[in-house]
Amino acid sequence: MENDMELNGRVAIVTGAGAGLGRAHALLLARHGARVVVNDIGEAADRVAAEIGAAGGEALAARGSVTDEAQVAAMVEAARERWGGVHILVNNAGILRDSSFAKMSLKDFRDVIDVHLMGAAICTQAVWGLMREQGYGRIVMTTSSSGLYGNFGQANYGAAKMALVGLMQTLAIEGAKNDIRVNCLAPTAATAMTDALLPPPMKALLVPERVSPGLIKLVCDDAPTRAILCAGAGSFERAFITLTPGVYIGAGDDAAEQVAARWDEIADRTGETVPDAGGAQIQCEVTAASQAASQT
């Protein structure tokens, strides 16, 4: 195994690590040499921490909800006191409250946003200052194809998961000067959350252990930043948010009609780019307008 994939001496927090993907992540991080803080809301955290210890690794169980700022702060402080810092954060904790939007209660919408989005924000902010002081950090947000591409019955889940992509994009920019790299993992796995949704043959392929190898690349010393890695059944892909070259139409009285008439040109993906930051859209639009003005 290449040395840059080893995590010896690194301290990793994995939220929602009592079962499923979180457990698989925690076990593999430990196998690669990381000291692991196993977070979950119940005694499952203790079991996974004990499992890591029995295999010769180092682990600390941290019970608590990612939505509880005090509990999260205590978890980070416990890791710092025992091992001197936190180098890796894997925001994995999540819940499902599936329903079509017409039948979905706003409480179920808020609950999912609170755990997935606010939970990730709370945990990330709790380690952010420490990572800046260290001049090193690796953070992974758990997004989903439901957020990237949509999925019936998951308006709340999809909204939360796409919001995490936006959080990743900005934090990667803000963290760059302190070598804090932030990425997204979009897993497809059979877990307790998806147990009722998948037929048995698919479950046999979509085991969490076939996702976690992708996580190691996202948290190692040679990790990328601002990557969206999709993973499932042992297959790995990357997703990108792109910008087409577009068409300059201007502000004439027929602008709305022109947008409709030239829709296919606007949507043409030839020459599309992956912007470095949100300002790329502004620059593209202002440049097009300036060029058009200079030609009149």
* Active site residue ranges: 157
Residues 93/22, Cβ–Cβ less than 8 Å: yes
Residues 232/239, Cβ–Cβ less than 8 Å: no
Residues 159/202, Cβ–Cβ less than 8 Å: no
DSSP codes, 55-81 = TT--EEEEE--TT-HHHHHHHHHHHHH
Helices 44-54 and 20-31: crossing angle in degrees, nearest 10, is 30
**149-177 as b/e, with b when 16 or more CB fall inside 10 Å?**
eebebbbbbbbbbbbbbebbbebbeebee
Cβ neighbors of 188 (< 8 A, separation 6 or more) are 145, 206, 211, 230, 231, 232, 233
Please give the structure tokens belonging to residue 30.
């430990």
**106-117 as b/e, with b when 16 or more CB fall inside 10 Å?**
eebbebbbbbbb
Q: What angle do CA 21, 27, 31 make, to 5 degrees?
A: 140
**CA pair distance 25, 79, nearest whole angstrom:** 18
